[in-house]
């Protein structure tokens, strides 16, 4: 079966992916920030001992045994966090399956950060899978839990359900029509946080954003799911209205997306940032049926294999930045020609 990020998903014209993350800690052991080296080893040992009983095709990989390129490639896929990779800690590990749609980080910010992923909008399906895995883990481990507060976590903003539900959305229509700030304001007022996936500060690359719940305490998992589903459906609706408006001027719109497509297919050197912006236009053109040379799968591959670490993994060698920028254009032509 294909990796989750190369599968087709519901509403994938707007929603790139969905993630459910549950933060859990083991009873009677200090939180990660106060955890001694021996305790971290004990946590890792406990997890390692239950892997055969857990199932789901999970295998344990220790970060110290992984090369840097592999770790960064997982960050680029949003499967593990950059902070996790940057920690100089020999007790860090992941439980991951072949499809990479399940990844449990061990000794990250919490003892256990269980994550499940899917392409497109899959909020309820992923919640069901996350709860199922969590219940299996709870049979094998004693969680730190309070009758008053719920699941106890290292970060106060995760206490309660320990649930972070996120969707990554592509919003070029709202950006082009000047309506993006209104939508971002509504999202913030609805108790959700929104941030650009690529770029720094308020400068977004590729019009790609992550929306996640802020509140985990005093609210149930069902309420978080309901709120996220409602806000995401509203964003999908507004983005599609904006795209319909852009499509009314067919010649101008086709010119814009095909110019980006032309640069992608003919450039010989391409930086990561420029590539993301071009791919945003190309994805929009493909999703709206204007660019006929591509399909959803090719667009997914373009986004994945033009990222620096995954590009180097594809070619099987470490490169400097100049070679990466040159090879990026080569792999783009290969994927389009497939």
Instruction: Give the CATH number of the domain where residue 149 resides.
Output: 3.30.590.10
pLDDT, tens digit, for every residue of 290-302? Answer: 999 999 999 999 9
State pLDDT tens for residues 231-265: 999 999 999 999 999 999 889 999 999 999 999 99
Q: What's the CA gap between 125 and 232, in Å, rounded?
A: 15
Same domain for 255 and 114, yes or no, is no
φ, ψ dihedrals at 278, nearest 5°:
-65, -40
Contact 252, 180 (CB under 8 A): no
Q: How far is CA 213 from CA 219, 224, 230, in A?
A: 11, 7, 12
- Please state, for a pLDDT cut of 90, what percent of the chain lies above it: 78
Residues 226, 102 share a domain: yes
E strand map for the chain = 15-24, 59-62, 93-96, 102-106, 112-119, 145-146, 150-151, 163-170, 192-196, 208-213
47 and 185 part of one domain: yes
Tally of domains in the chain: 2
- Quick check: pTM over 0.85? yes
Domain-terminating residue out of 188, 219, 242: 242
Judge if 204 and 269 occupy the same domain.
Answer: no
Query: Are the C-beta atoms of residues 313 and 73 closer than 8 Å to each other?
Result: yes
Do residues 133 and 205 share a domain?
Answer: yes
What is the percentage of the chain residues whose pLDDT exceeds 70?
98
- Residue 32 pLDDT > 80: no
Mean pLDDT of the chain: 93
Residues 6+ apart with CB under 8 A from 77: 5, 100, 304, 310
- Are residues 265 and 228 located together in one domain of the fold? no
Query: What pLDDT is attached to residue 333?
Result: 96
- Residue 105 contacts residue 113 (beta carbons within 8 Å): yes
Looking at the structure, do residues 46 and 194 belong to the same domain, yes or no?
yes
pLDDT (average), residues 87-97: 87
Mean pLDDT across 120-141: 96
Give pLDDT, residue 251: 93
Final residue before a domain boundary, out of 226, 242, 258: 242
Q: How far is it, in rounded angstroms, from Cα 248 to Cα 100?
A: 40
List all residues 6 or more positions away from 171 whose beta carbon is below 8 Å from its beta carbon: 14, 180, 183, 207, 208, 209, 235, 239
Mean pLDDT to the nearest integer, 179-198 = 87
pLDDT of 215 strictly over 90? no
pLDDT score of 202 = 54
Which whole number is the average pLDDT over 10-29? 95
**Token couple for 195:** 């941030």
User: Are residues 175 and 75 located together in one domain of the fold?
Assistant: yes
| Per-residue pLDDT, 189 | 81
Q: How confident is the model at residue 75 (pLDDT cuts 50, 70, 90)?
A: very high
Q: How far apart are CA 291 and CA 289, in angstroms?
A: 6
**One domain, residues 265 and 202:** no
DSSP 149: T
Calculate the dihedral angle through the C-alpha atoms of 116, 119, 125, 130, rounding to the nearest 10 degrees. 0
Q: How far apart are CA 316 and CA 102, in angstroms?
A: 25
How many CA atoms lie within 13 Å of 72's alpha carbon, on the beta-carbon side?
12
The last residue of one of the domains, among 242, 258, 292, is 242
**What's residue 185's pLDDT?**
84
Task: Check whether residue 235 and residue 295 sit in a common domain.
Answer: no
The whole domain housing 163 covers 4-242
Sheet holding 15-24, edge to edge: 59-62, 93-96, 102-106, 112-119, 15-24, 163-170, 208-213, 192-196
If asked whether residues 180 and 325 sit together in one domain, one would say no
Is residue 301 located within the same domain as residue 219? no
């Amino acid at each position: 079966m294909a990796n989750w990020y190369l599968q087709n998903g519901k509403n994938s014209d707007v929603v790139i992916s969905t993630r459910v993350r549950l933060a859990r800690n083991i009873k009677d052991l200090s939180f990660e920030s106060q955890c001694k080296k021996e305790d971290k080893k004990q946590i890792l040992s406990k997890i390692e001992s239950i892997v055969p009983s857990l199932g789901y095709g999970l295998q344990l990989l220790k970060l110290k045994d992984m090369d840097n390129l592999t770790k960064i490639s997982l960050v680029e896929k949003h499967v593990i966090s950059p902070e996790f990779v940057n920690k100089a800690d020999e007790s860090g590990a992941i439980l991951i399956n072949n499809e990479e749609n399940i990844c449990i980080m061990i000794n990250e910010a919490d003892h256990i950060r269980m994550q499940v992923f899917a392409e497109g909008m899959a909020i309820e399906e992923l919640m069901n899978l996350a709860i199922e895995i969590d219940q299996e883990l709870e049979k094998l481990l004693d969680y730190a839990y309070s009758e008053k507060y719920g699941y106890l976590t290292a970060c106060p903003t995760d206490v309660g359900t320990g649930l972070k539900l996120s969707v990554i959305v592509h919003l070029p229509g709202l950006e082009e029509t000047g309506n993006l700030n209104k939508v971002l304001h509504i999202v913030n007022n609805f108790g959700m946080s929104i941030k650009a996936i690529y770029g720094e500060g308020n400068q977004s690359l590729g019009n790609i954003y992550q929306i996640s719940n802020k509140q985990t305490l005093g609210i149930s998992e069902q309420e978080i799911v309901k709120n996220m589903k409602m806000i995401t459906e509203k964003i999908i609706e507004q983005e599609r209205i904006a795209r319909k408006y852009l499509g009314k001027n067919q010649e101008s719109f086709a010119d814009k997306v095909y110019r980006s497509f032309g640069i992608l297919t003919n450039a010989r050197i391409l930086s990561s940032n420029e590539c993301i912006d071009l791919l945003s236009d190309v994805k929009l053109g493909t999703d709206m049926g204007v660019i006929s040379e591509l399909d959803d799968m090719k667009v997914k591959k373009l986004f994945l294999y033009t990222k620096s670490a995954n590009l180097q993994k594809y070619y099987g060698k470490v490169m400097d930045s100049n070679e990466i920028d040159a090879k990026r254009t080569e792999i783009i032509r290969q994927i389009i020609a497939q």
